[in-house]
Amino acid sequence: MTAPSSMLTFNAGSLLVLSGLPGAGKTRLRQAAQGLPEGAWVSMDELRRQVLGTLNVLNGGRPQTQVRQEANDVVYHMAQAIVAERMRHGLSTVVDATNLTDADRQAWIEHAQAHGAEAVVLIVDTPLDECLRRMSGRTDWVPQSRILEMLEAGASAQGKGDGFERRSVHPYRLLTGGETLCFRPRPVATEQLDVVSDVHGLLDDLLVLLAEAGWQVRDGVLRHADAQRRLLFLGDLVDRGPDSLPLLELVQRSCEAGTAQCLQGNHEAKLLKFVDQAQREGIERWGSWANAETGMNLLKLPEERRQRLLAFMRGLPPYLVHEPAKVAFVHGDVHRFDPFLSLREDLVHGQSGFRQGVDSDALYAAGHRAGLNAYLVIRGHVPPTSEQDCIVSIEAQGYQKGELRLLRFDEFLAARAAGVGVQAAVRQALRVRACSHDQQAHAERQFGLAKALEALTSRKLVRRSLDPSKLLRSYKYAKEVFWLGAWDESPYLIKARGIVLDAAGTVVSNPFDKVFNYGEREVGRDLPDTLPVVEALKLNGFLGIISPHPLKRGELLVHTQGSLDPENAYVRHITELLQPRQRGLLARFFSQRPMTLMLEVLHPQDPHIVEYGPDEHGLYLIGARTLGFEDPELPEDALDPIAEQLALRRPWWRRTTLGEVKRRVRECRDEGSMVRADTATQTSLLKMKSPFYLTTKFLARLSSKNARHLFGNPQDFKKHQDEELYPIVDAVAARFDLDGFLALSESERVRAVRDIIDSQQ
């Protein structure tokens, strides 16, 4: 609390919450207020008059006007909506209501907090007897009984006191009612100011530019040799460049230390919306990949750091002014500027909406000539749209091989005082740093995979599934890709085998690429039998995938090719087989070596063609790769120590030749083999399925009904089968008719299908 003074000054855009009994002097405060824009005073009594009007009554034989109270709930919600909207737009607001307790004040304060606005409770502490005396002489009258009811309700809620809290947990001032409230435009700290254009995560370039202007980072804060000098950032600290969050934290610390000020740019505003939506309902799609990239990195921060940055960005003002020179600093390309009436979104996002052919600077100049725009504006956001003498942009798109710019404001003012024109004075006072960052190239590298997979999803060649938070999405090629033969439609299709990206397109789980069966798309036909290969047993389970969870530090992201849902039956099969000790081992392993592990899952409730005993059920490590989408799989000999470290099983593997693999697979009674090149990287070449496995699987699916389907429409039948059976379907349909096939005995069918498979392999 501070002592009362006759003039109380508040920054425009603040929320003032009045607190006091009827008759305390709130109306007098309104009459004396300065800088009060239209609509700023939100009076509960005025809203009551609008809703139900007033009623003339006799009070002690004297006619008085009574404000009707019967619609208080409606009036309260109206007032809340008005205040919420004004706070959203950054407009000065005064709440005129009794608000006798902090419980009454809290709802108003929350509207300010939601938008980073300053909020102060003004407690008008006029004694009850004086309030009653004043009220008895007023024409608009609140009955004494109603005033006493207010106090009783407050006392009941508090459980103590007289029902009027004369202190607050929020910032507050204690008033007598004789003060003058004054709103003023938000000021810059000094004219000894270095103004910096949109930095967009280019921290290294910024530090070079600032060093040339005498700034250094000391104790984590930007400081100048001249202790009186200050920095002003025009917003858009984040997105596009490589160091958005370190830059944001540096500016935050500098603002808190008093060496810098910063405006809110449209990219900070979008980032706040991203995080709010992500935490409230998830992100299915977002309009800016670069903004989503920063947003996801922000969500990965520890809670305390994240909340501090969010509070900092919310509290950034939309403008500042240097009133002596009548100069305003804003981010957006405004057409109109008034420190009391301009809406936050216009100042932050600009008023042209990136529309082609709109000369926003010329529009501002026209308003200036007409007397509507009183300030010379220095802005960022987009480069100048034209040269004017009342508005200047120092933005030069440093993120796209442009320039980062710093304007020495005191030098600019000195040049203006010497008679130099506005644009020439700007050029004299500018310091520039040529930047090499190429955002277009970065976007292609960083977001190209996500854009390609989304395009394939829209063409229904890929199926996308979301996790419960809707911040992660997995991609799996559709069955149609096989029977349409669409693999050549995009090189990214082979990546869609359960790969998981976050909302910004960053790979967070990176399982196997698609590996084709021998003979499928002619794969392996040209390889000699003498080729040295690495053969690994193909177990007959399903693919389970485990990666470090990108948003939950120390937790696991467990999924299948087609589902990120923890309640999915197959995902639950994986988690059921994970022992508590293994979870701890995996968490420690991932903290040192973030990567994706691929597992063959043999679960007793998931029977397959090959039968396994109880002692064979479990999780078998069959692959691993780091999280770059072009990163190679680890070779088999690198998987063995990982499996031992994590208490996972391993299928057998050996070095051999392709011919030996064929001979083994032809006679085995397991699913077959995975075949990799016997090189340092052991690139996967193909899968080879055994005749035993394929025959059993094909005939198990060929009931009389399905046989009629196969022979009636082979191509449609294939749509409902796994791709490894396609060649068998084609051969059976070509070699037999329905009656002939159904006439075969079971052993004859087995022999016929085996002959087909042998000829194909």
Query: What tens digit of pLDDT does each residue of 226-240 get?
Result: 999 999 999 999 999
Is the domain defined by 444-689 classed in CATH 1.10.1740.10? no
DSSP class of residue 187 equals B
Per DSSP, the three-state class of 218 is strand
- DSSP states of 396-438 as a string? BBTTBT-EEEEEEHHHHHHHHHTT--HHHHHHHHEEEEE---B
Query: Could you tell me which of 626, 621, 660 has the C-alpha nearest to residue 637?
Result: 621
Helical ranges in 503-632 per DSSP H: 569-577, 580-592
Helix or strand (DSSP H, E) at 212: helix 203-212
Statement: residue 36 has pLDDT above 50: yes
Predicted confidence at residue 160, as pLDDT, reads: 66
Handedness of CA 161, 167, 168, 169 (dihedral sign): negative
Whether pLDDT at 697 is above 50: yes
List phi, psi (to 5°) of 181: -90, 135
How many angstroms separate the Cα of 327 from the Cα of each of 214, 422, 492?
24, 12, 53
Torsion of CA 104, 106, 112, 115, to 10 degrees: -140
- Residue 612 contacts by C-beta under 8 Å, 6 or more apart in sequence? 540, 602
CA gap 458, 487 in Å, rounded? 16
Region 487-506 average pLDDT: 96
* Residue at 393: amino acid letter: S
Cα–Cα distance for residue pair 503/495, rounded to 1 Å: 17
In what order do the strands lie in the sheet containing 472-477?
Answer: 462-466, 472-477, 497-502, 507-509
The ranges assigned to domains in the chain are 7-184, 193-437, 444-689, 692-760
| Mean pLDDT, rounded, for 712-718 | 91
What's the pLDDT tens digit per position in 67-106?
788 888 999 999 999 999 999 999 999 999 999 999 999 9
At residue 1, the pLDDT reads 43
Residues 6+ apart with CB under 8 A from 679: none
**Angstrom distance (rounded) from CA 696 to CA 668:** 13
**pLDDT value at 3 more than 50:** no
Query: Region 648-661: what's the mean pLDDT?
Result: 98
Distances 412 to 156, 185, 208, 334 between C-alpha atoms, Å: 61, 21, 22, 21
- Tell me which CATH homologous superfamily contains domain 193-437: Metallo-dependent phosphatases (3.60.21.10)
The pairing of strands 672-677 and 684-689 is: antiparallel
Per-residue pLDDT, averaged over 497-507, amounts to: 97
User: What average pLDDT does this structure show over 740-757?
Assistant: 90
Q: How many helices (H) and strands (E) does the chain have?
A: 27, 33
3-state secondary structure of 380: coil
Interatomic CA distance for residues 193 and 409, integer angstroms: 5
Which of 348, 170, 333, 174 has its CA nearest to residue 265? Answer: 348
Alpha helices, DSSP H, located in 223-359: 244-257, 266-280, 289-299, 303-314, 344-349
Q: What is the pLDDT of residue 331?
A: 98
Considering only CA atoms, which of 703, 183, 266, 290 is closest in space to residue 504?
290
User: Beta 119-124 vs 172-175: how paired, if at all?
Assistant: parallel
DSSP state of 23: T
Mean pLDDT of 145-156: 81
In tens, the pLDDT along 553-574 reads 999 999 999 999 999 999 999 9
Q: Which residues pair with 187 in a beta bridge?
A: 321
What local confidence, expressed as pLDDT, does residue 450 receive? 96
- What CATH superfamily is the domain 7-184? P-loop containing nucleotide triphosphate hydrolases (3.40.50.300)
Q: Where are the alpha helices (DSSP H) in 138-192?
A: 144-158
φ/ψ of 596, rounded to 5, equals: -110, 135
Asked if pLDDT for residue 608 goes beyond 50, the answer is yes
Q: pLDDT band for position 262 (50/70/90)?
A: very high
| Nearby residues of 275 by Cβ (< 8 Å), 6 or more positions away | 295, 298, 299, 306, 310
Q: Is 642 helix (H, G, I), strand (E, B) or coil?
A: helix
Question: In this structure, are residues 403 and 199 in contact, taking their beta carbons and an 8 Å threshold?
Answer: no
Rounded Cα distance between 26 and 135, Å, is 12
On the CB side of 163, CA atoms within 13 Å amount to 15
Please tell me the distance from the alpha carbon of residue 397 to that of residue 382, in angstroms, as a whole number: 8
Mean pLDDT of the chain: 94
